[in-house]
C-alpha cells in the first residue's frame, strides 16, 4: 500500500466507523454533508496525496491542492483539518519526518494555505487578527514574514489540529496508540474515537458552541467509557444538538494513517 | 473528473445506495464482505483505471491488474464483474469505444483474464468446459486461439455481464437511461437498481440458487415497483436467504459510470 492509499484508507475507515458521536458516519448524514461527500473527497484527493508522497511542492501548496480537488462537490469542507495533518505525515513519511517538514515551511506555504482556507467555511475565532475573510490578512503574513509553521503556532492555543504541528503530533500519536490498544477493525476506531473525545476537549466544538458545551461533551464521552451513558443515545443527542467533534475526527484519521503504517489491522 | 475517478465514484455510489435488495449497502454487511471492503476496492483499483485511461496494456491485463490490486483485503471478490464492464468503458471512453475495444482482444487477453479469474471465487456452471479451476482450460484456450471476446461470447448465454461484450453494452445503456429517468442522486440509484432487477433475471442468482429463485426475485422486484411489496422487507428477505443480485449491481455500476459521463448528477 502506498502512503497515499493509506491516507485515503484512513479517511474512508474513519467516516464509515459507527456509532461515532455527533459526526457523519455510516448511519448518519447531515442535511448538507453526507457520507458520499466524505467518500468522494477520499477518492478525489488522490493526486494531491501522490504528489506529497513523491516529494512534490510545499506543504501549503499540497494542502491547497487537496482542498481544491475536494471542493468540487456540494458537501462543503469535509477534510480540511485532516489534510493539515495528513499532508505532512505523507510528505515526511511518519511523525518524525512530519515534525521536521512543518518547521521548514515558508511564507509561500502560508499564503497557499490561506488560499485553501478561503475555499472552506472553516470556523475561526471572530477576534482572530489573521481572519481568512479579511483581505488584510495576506498583507500581515507577508509583512511579518510568517511561515505556515508560524500560522499554526499562532492558532495552536485554540485549535488542537494546528497544535499538532507544534507539539510533535502528540495527539496523532495518542490516537494511533489508542487504536493499537483497542485491537483491530472498525470497533477499535469507535473506541479510540470515544477515548480521545473523553480525554481532550474538542476545539471545533468550542469554536461552534463555546467551551462549556465542549467540556460537557468530553464528560459525556467519559461517562460512555464508564458505562453510565449509552453510546447510541449520546450520538443521537449530539446529532440533535448539531454538535460534531470535527477536530477529534481529524486526529483519528491521522491516527489511523500512522497506525496502519505500524501494522495496525483494519480488516478483521 | 478523469474517467478513472468517474469509475471509482460509480463503485462508491453503487455500494452506498440503500436499500438495495440483497446486496451489501450502507446499512448491510455480509459476514465475510463488508461495506469497507467494497470501498477499499474502489480506492485500491485506481492505478489500473489510470492505466486503462492512458491506453495501457490489453483489457485482459487491465482486468487482471484491477483484480489483483483489490484482492489484498479479506473481503474476497467485490467487483470482478464490474471490472469486466468498467475496464473497456474506460479504455474505450464510452460504450461505442468499448464495443470496438472488446472485439480487438487477443488470446493473451483471455489468458490474463483467466489468471484474474483464478484470484476470485466467482461462480461458474459446473458443466462449463472452460472451468477456471481446471488446469486444462488454458490449454483449450491456446489450442483454439480463443480471444477474450470469444470467452465472453462463450459465457454470454448464462452470464449477463459477459453478454454486454457481445451486445453493445445493452444493459449498461439501459441502466444509464434508468438513472437519467429517475432523476439525480442516491434515490435514483435505488430506483434504477430495482427497475433493472424487475426487468432482467439476474444470472448471478441463477448460478447460485437456480433459475426459479432468480425469476421469483425478478417478480418480487416488479411487485415493489407496482407498490404491492415493501422494498425494505424485500431487502430483508433477500439478505436472510443469502440472495444477492450481484450481476445487476455490476451493471448499475457501469450505468452510473456512463450516466456520469453524460452529465447525470449524483450530488443533489
Tell me the pLDDT of chain B averaged across its residues. 93
Average pLDDT over residues B115-128: 71
CB-based burial of residue B145 (10 Å sphere; 0-12 exposed, 13-18 middle, 19+ buried)?
exposed
Task: Out of B9, B12, B26, name the one closest to residue A26 (CB).
Answer: B26
pLDDT of residue A177: 98
Looking at the structure, tell me whether residues A196 and A80 fall in a common domain. no
Q: Which of A168, A194, A219 is the last residue of a domain?
A: A168
What is the distance, to the nearest Å, from the Cα of residue B138 to the centroid of all Cα atoms in its chain?
24
Smallest CA–CA distance, residue A268 to chain B, in Å, is 8
Please report whether residue A267 resides in a domain: no
Looking at the structure, tell me whether residues A91 and A135 fall in a common domain. yes
Coil, strand or helix at A25: strand
Looking at the structure, tell me whether residues A58 and A162 fall in a common domain. yes
Looking at the structure, tell me whether residues A32 and A141 fall in a common domain. yes
Please report whether residue A268 resides in a domain: no
Core vs surface per residue B195-218: b (16+ CB within 10 A) or e: bbbbebbbbbbbbebeeeebeebb
Residue with cell 469505444: B97
- DSSP class of residue B29 equals -
Please report whether residue B146 resides in a domain: no
**Count of other CB atoms within 10 angstroms of residue B150:** 18
pLDDT of residue B136: 82
Looking at the structure, tell me whether residues A198 and A113 fall in a common domain. no
What's the CATH number where A80 sits? 1.10.4200.10
pLDDT over threshold 70, residue B191: yes
Q: At what angle do helices B185-199 and B3-16 cross, to 10 degrees?
A: 80
Smallest CA–CA distance, residue A5 to chain B, in Å, is 7
pLDDT of residue B74: 87
Grid cell of A10 as nine digits: 484512513
Q: Are A30 and A37 in contact (CB under 8 A)?
A: no
Coil, strand or helix at B28: strand
Determine if the peptide bond prior to B236 is cis (ω within 30°). Answer: no
Please report whether residue B115 resides in a domain: no
pLDDT of residue A266: 97
Average pLDDT over residues A13-42: 92
Please report whether residue B170 resides in a domain: yes
The pLDDT > 90 percentage for chain B reads: 82
pLDDT over threshold 70, residue B249: yes
Closest CA to A17 of A9, A173, A64: A9
Angle at A68 between CA A37 and CA A100, to 5 degrees: 105
Q: Are B11 and B41 in contact (CB under 8 A)?
A: yes
Q: Are B94 and B254 in contact (CB under 8 A)?
A: no
Task: Out of B16, B74, B268, name the one closest to residue A39 (CB).
Answer: B16
Q: Which residue numbers of B have CB closer than 8 Å to A's CBs? A: 1, 5, 8-9, 12-13, 16, 26-27, 35-37, 39-40, 42-44, 46, 72-75, 186, 266-268
Task: Out of B43, B267, B268, name the one closest to residue A9 (CB).
Answer: B43
Grid cell of B89 as nine digits: 468503458
Looking at the structure, tell me whether residues A28 and A151 fall in a common domain. yes
Angle at A59 between CA A57 and CA A61, to 5 degrees: 60
Task: Out of B16, B73, B75, name the one closest to residue A36 (CB).
Answer: B16
Please report whether residue B30 resides in a domain: yes
pLDDT tens per residue across span A214-251: 999 999 999 999 999 999 999 999 999 999 999 999 99
Q: Do A13 and B36 touch (CB under 8 A)?
A: yes
Looking at the structure, tell me whether residues A134 and A208 fall in a common domain. no
Question: What is the domain range of residue A99?
Answer: 3-8+16-168
pLDDT of residue A27: 83
Please report whether residue A190 resides in a domain: yes
Looking at the structure, tell me whether residues A135 and A181 fall in a common domain. no
Query: CA-CA distances (angstroms) from residue B138 to A17, A209, B62, B114?
Result: 43, 66, 18, 8
Nearest CA in chain A to B17: A36
Nearest CA in chain B to A72: B1
pLDDT band at B119 (very low <50, low <70, confident <90, very high): confident
Coil, strand or helix at B25: strand
Residues of B in contact with A74 (CB under 8 A): 267-268
Q: Are B24 and B193 in contact (CB under 8 A)?
A: no
Please report whether residue B132 resides in a domain: no
CB-based burial of residue B125 (10 Å sphere; 0-12 exposed, 13-18 middle, 19+ buried)?
middle
pLDDT band at B124 (very low <50, low <70, confident <90, very high): low
For an interface test with A, the pick among B16, B39, B187 (most A C-beta atoms closer than 10 Å) comes out as B39
Q: Which of A144, A168, A192 is the last residue of a domain?
A: A168
- The better pLDDT of the pair B20, B130 is held by B20
Q: Are B140 and B229 in contact (CB under 8 A)?
A: no
Task: Out of A8, A72, A73, name the one closest to residue B43 (CB).
Answer: A8
pLDDT over threshold 70, residue A164: yes
Looking at the structure, tell me whether residues A33 and A127 fall in a common domain. yes
Q: How far apart are CA B229 and CA B58, in angstroms?
A: 45
Looking at the structure, tell me whether residues A162 and A208 fall in a common domain. no
Q: How far apart are CA A152 and CA A147, in angstroms?
A: 9
Q: Are B199 and B170 in contact (CB under 8 A)?
A: no
Q: Which of A168, A184, A213 is the last residue of a domain?
A: A168
pLDDT tens per residue across span B9-37: 999 999 999 999 998 888 888 888 999 99
Smallest CA–CA distance, residue A196 to chain B, in Å, is 23
Average pLDDT over residues A42-51: 97
Q: Do B42 and A44 touch (CB under 8 A)?
A: no
pLDDT over threshold 70, residue B126: no
Judged by average pLDDT, the poorest of A120-134, A151-165, B48-62, B193-207 is A120-134
Looking at the structure, tell me whether residues A141 and A188 fall in a common domain. no
Judged by average pLDDT, the poorest of A32-41, A80-89, A129-138, A152-161 is A129-138
Q: Which long-range contacts does A165-171 make (Cβ < 8 Å, 24+ apart)?
A: A165/A84, A165/A88, A165/A102, A168/A95, A168/A99, A169/A85, A169/A89, A169/A95, A169/A98, A169/A99, A169/A254, A171/A196, A171/A200, A171/A251, A171/A255
Question: How many separate domains does chain A show?
Answer: 2
For an interface test with B, the pick among A1, A17, A40 (most B C-beta atoms closer than 10 Å) comes out as A40
Helix, strand, coil percent values for chain B (each to nearest 5): 65, 0, 30
Closest CA to B223 of B203, B245, B248, B195: B195
Q: How far apart are CA B83 and CA B61, in angstroms?
A: 11
- What's the complex ipTM? 0.94
Judged by average pLDDT, the poorest of A65-69, B73-77, B176-180, B209-213 is B73-77
pLDDT of residue A111: 94
Judged by average pLDDT, the poorest of A19-23, A188-192, A197-201, B82-86 is A19-23
Q: How far apart are CA B195 and CA B171, in angstroms?
A: 12
Residues of B in contact with A190 (CB under 8 A): none
Q: Are B131 and B137 in contact (CB under 8 A)?
A: yes
Q: Do B35 and A16 touch (CB under 8 A)?
A: yes
pLDDT over threshold 70, residue A88: yes
Closest CA to B215 of B198, B229, B239: B198
Smallest CA–CA distance, residue B149 to chain A, in Å, is 31
Residue B169 half-sphere exposure toward CB, CA atoms < 13 A: 31
Closest CA to B45 of B17, B13, B8: B8
Looking at the structure, tell me whether residues A251 and A221 fall in a common domain. yes
Amino acid at each position: 500500500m502506498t502512503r497515499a492509499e493509506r491516507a485515503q484508507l484512513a479517511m474512508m475507515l474513519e467516516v464509515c466507523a459507527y456509532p461515532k458521536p455527533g459526526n457523519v458516519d455510516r448511519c448518519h448524514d447531515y442535511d448538507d454533508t453526507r457520507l458520499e461527500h466524505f467518500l468522494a473527497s477520499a477518492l478525489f484527493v488522490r493526486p494531491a496525496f501522490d504528489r506529497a508522497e513523491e516529494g512534490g511542492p510545499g506543504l501549503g501548496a499540497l494542502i491547497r491542492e487537496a482542498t481544491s480537488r475536494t471542493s468540487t462537490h456540494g458537501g462543503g469542507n469535509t477534510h480540511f483539518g485532516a489534510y493539515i495533518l495528513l499532508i505532512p505525515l505523507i510528505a515526511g513519511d511518519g511523525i518524525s519526518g512530519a515534525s521536521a517538514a512543518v518547521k521548514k515551511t515558508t511564507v509561500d506555504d502560508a499564503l497557499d494555505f490561506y488560499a485553501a482556507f478561503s475555499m472552506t467555511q472553516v470556523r475561526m475565532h471572530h477576534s482572530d487578527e489573521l481572519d481568512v475573510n479579511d483581505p488584510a490578512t495576506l498583507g500581515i503574513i507577508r509583512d511579518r514574514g510568517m511561515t505556515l509553521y508560524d500560522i499554526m503556532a499562532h492558532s495552536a492555543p485554540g485549535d488542537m489540529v494546528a497544535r499538532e504541528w507544534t507539539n510533535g503530533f502528540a495527539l496523532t500519536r495518542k490516537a494511533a496508540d489508542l487504536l493499537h490498544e483497542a485491537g483491530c477493525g472498525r470497533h477499535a476506531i469507535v473506541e479510540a474515537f470515544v477515548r480521545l473525545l473523553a480525554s481532550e476537549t474538542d476545539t471545533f466544538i468550542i469554536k461552534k458552541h463555546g467551551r462549556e458545551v465542549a467540556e460537557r461533551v468530553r464528560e459525556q464521552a467519559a461517562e460512555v467509557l464508564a458505562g453510565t451513558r449509552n453510546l447510541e443515545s449520546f450520538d443521537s443527542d449530539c446529532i440533535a444538538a448539531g454538535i460534531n467533534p470535527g477536530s477529534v475526527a481529524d486526529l483519528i484519521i491521522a491516527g489511523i494513517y500512522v497506525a496502519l503504517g505500524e501494522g495496525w489491522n483494519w480488516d478483521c
